[in-house]
Amino acid sequence: MHTSEVTKNSFRGLVLLLLLSIAYDFIWYLMQSEQENNFLDGTTLIPQVAQWVHFGLLFFKPLMVIVYWKASIDFAAILDEKSQF
């Protein structure tokens, strides 16, 4: 997509997709069975790293929701500033 085709609805779509992704992450985490949690007993590193990355994304995604929502609200002002350059 070319930058001239981007609208504020594009950013709001990103917000919606991120919120759906956050909901999916919580559902996925809640559905983890006790057997899968036994992999986190310290014998292998990969499941531990995967869980830490998952928690990191749960922190990062809400920040991106705020950034994209702010960009959609100030979309006209951002374009006006861009045209001044």
d(CA 67, CA 73): 10
AA letter at 1: M
Residue linked to tokens 């006209």: 76
Domain boundaries in the chain? 14-84
**Residue 13, CA distances (Å) to 25, 39, 68 in order:** 18, 36, 9
- Kindly report the backbone phi and psi dihedral angles of residue 66, in degrees, each rounded to the nearest multiple of 5, phi listed first: -65, -45
One digit per residue, the tens of pLDDT, for the chain of length 85 reads 566 777 778 888 889 999 999 999 888 777 765 556 555 555 677 777 877 888 888 889 999 999 988 888 887 777 766 666 5
Stated pTM of the model: 0.69
d(CA 1, CA 15): 18
